[in-house]
Homo-oligomer: A and B are copies of this chain.
């Protein structure tokens, strides 16, 4: 399990056997059942989770009580609330397992020490964050430049694996429209 994380890190920076042992002493490995909460609104987020197996989502509660999907994360992705994590402020987010998960997490209260001991992790997370930021801006572009229907088709074409794994209503929210509208799109596809 831990090896998955090591392999992922090694795609970006070197990490020898000794360093792997150091890393291991700083992380927490856990199995979490489907629909469990890792973080709830109002709590300060102290962890950054790496997904070895499974699927996480983060969402906010809107004024009308609906859930607005913020992010999905699957194998080999990190998920946290960086805003809460960084400022030690209560989070606006819920982070929840969508499937049974195998997770590895780093606690921000020991992360600094870990970064001092394994400075190459600064680089690793810099590169991870660079990708995350680019992806987030790309998603904003889709929001701006594509219609809801086009966004669905785009997502469908580019991330078919997701379509199988997450309920349609979560996907609709993630793409910025209602489940009812998604049904409309799907009915249109079935017609043709």
Contact = CB atoms under 8 A, between A and B. Distances in A.
Interface residues of A, number: 32
Oligomer: number of copies: 2
A139 B86 CA distance: 17
A121 B122 CA distance: 9
Interface string A123-137: 101100111111011
Interface in A116-158: 119, 122-123, 125-126, 129-134, 136-141, 143-145
Interface of A: 60, 62-63, 68, 70-71, 82-83, 86, 92, 115, 119, 122-123, 125-126, 129-134, 136-141, 143-145, 176
Given A68-B141, A71-B137, 16 more contacts: A63-B145, A68-B144, A68-B145, A82-B133, A83-B134, A83-B138, A86-B130, A86-B134, A92-B141, A119-B119, A125-B126, A129-B132, A133-B136, A143-B143, A143-B176, A144-B176
